[in-house]
């Protein structure tokens, strides 16, 4: 009988093979176990609650959800029930783009913007025009009173990101909206249009919001105006309607609360320096 001894290099190689083999065995068993997981009596709501858990359970839940008969119909009915969050989770997890036409009908009454955000997440080159056209129709002055603030906020983000120029009449209506969240989102839209897309139209609306009753809106308007000033000064682009540096300093110095005044001046300094 041969009494062979392995070299240190061979021992290391064997150990590595054992580690890899054990890891592969565990991953195979884990995958097999997760792929066989089923909940025979589970409702779509039960499965929806598992979508936000571990990856293995999530995958198994999604697989089973795809087999449910009439799921889309159930999700449509659930959108405005207490199961609404679960329905939106399932729609997003399954990427149910065929539901977009139905979802768009519900956007105006979307109470918190979550449904609209779900639509945004499913936007592709194929359905982008349909979605953006629907959003612009919702923001028209005659439609705006029937649209929830949450939906408006969620619609403005992709419109600004994709450089969709909204008519002055639409922007004017948004700039005097009762909801400060809507006006804040409009400032963000204006910022994207100016700084990201080089569109400096309607900056007078930003200037008007320097006089907003909410200090948060005033500070945001100062910040956006200062950033635009800083960029146009470097590029020597001529703009109309935007506030000058002296105007912005006047707004900041008029703030009575010391912390707000200092924050305003900091926004002004940081924006102007860009």
Q: What is the pLDDT of residues 227-248, one digit of tens each?
A: 999 888 777 777 878 888 999 9
Number of helices (H), then strands (E), belonging to the chain: the values are 15, 0
Q: How high is the pLDDT of residue 6?
A: 52
Using CA atoms, how far apart are residues 161 and 183, in angstroms rounded to an integer? 17
Using CA atoms, how far apart are residues 157 and 106, in angstroms rounded to an integer? 18
Q: 268: exposed, middle or buried (C-beta count within 10 Å: 0-12, 13-18, 19+)?
A: buried
pLDDT at 211 over 90: yes
Q: What is the pLDDT of residues 3-55, one digit of tens each?
A: 445 555 554 554 554 444 444 444 444 444 444 577 777 899 999 999 888 88
Using CA atoms, how far apart are residues 107 and 233, in angstroms rounded to an integer? 40
**Domain boundaries in the chain?**
165-274
Q: How high is the pLDDT of residue 273?
A: 57
Q: What is the pLDDT of residues 137-166, one digit of tens each?
A: 999 999 999 999 999 999 999 999 999 999
Residue 117 sits at φ, ψ, to 5 deg, of -65, -40
Range of weakest confidence among 127-136, 217-226, 239-248: 239-248
Mean pLDDT of the chain: 87
- Which is higher by pLDDT, 26 or 76? 76
């Amino acid at each position: 009988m041969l009494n062979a001894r392995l070299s240190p290099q061979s021992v290391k190689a064997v150990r590595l093979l054992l580690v890899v083999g054990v890891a592969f065995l565990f991953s195979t068993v884990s995958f097999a176990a997760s792929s066989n997981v089923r909940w025979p009596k589970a409702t779509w709501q039960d499965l929806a609650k598992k979508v936000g858990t571990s990856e293995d359970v999530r995958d198994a839940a999604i697989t089973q959800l795809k087999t449910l008969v009439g799921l889309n119909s159930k999700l449509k009915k659930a959108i405005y029930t207490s199961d609404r969050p679960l329905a939106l989770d399932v729609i997003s997890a399954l990427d149910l783009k065929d539901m977009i036409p139905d979802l768009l009908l519900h956007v105006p009454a979307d109470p918190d913007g979550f449904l609209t955000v779900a639509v945004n997440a499913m936007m592709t080159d194929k359905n982008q025009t349909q979605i953006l056209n629907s959003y612009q129709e919702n923001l028209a002055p005659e439609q705006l009173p029937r649209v929830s603030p949450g939906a408006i906020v969620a619609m403005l983000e992709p419109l600004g990101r994709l450089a969709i120029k909204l008519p002055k009449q639409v922007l004017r209506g948004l700039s005097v909206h009762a909801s400060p969240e809507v006006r804040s989102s409009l400032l963000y839209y204006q910022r994207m249009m100016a700084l990201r897309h080089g569109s400096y139209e309607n900056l007078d609306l930003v200037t008007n919001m320097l006089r907003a009753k909410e200090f948060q809106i005033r500070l945001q308007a100062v910040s956006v105006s200062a950033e635009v000033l800083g960029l146009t000064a470097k590029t020597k682009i001529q703009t109309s309607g935007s506030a000058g540096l002296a105007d912005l300093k006047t707004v900041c110095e008029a703030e009575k609360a010391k912390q707000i005044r200092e924050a305003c001046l900091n926004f002004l300094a940081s924006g102007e320096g860009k």
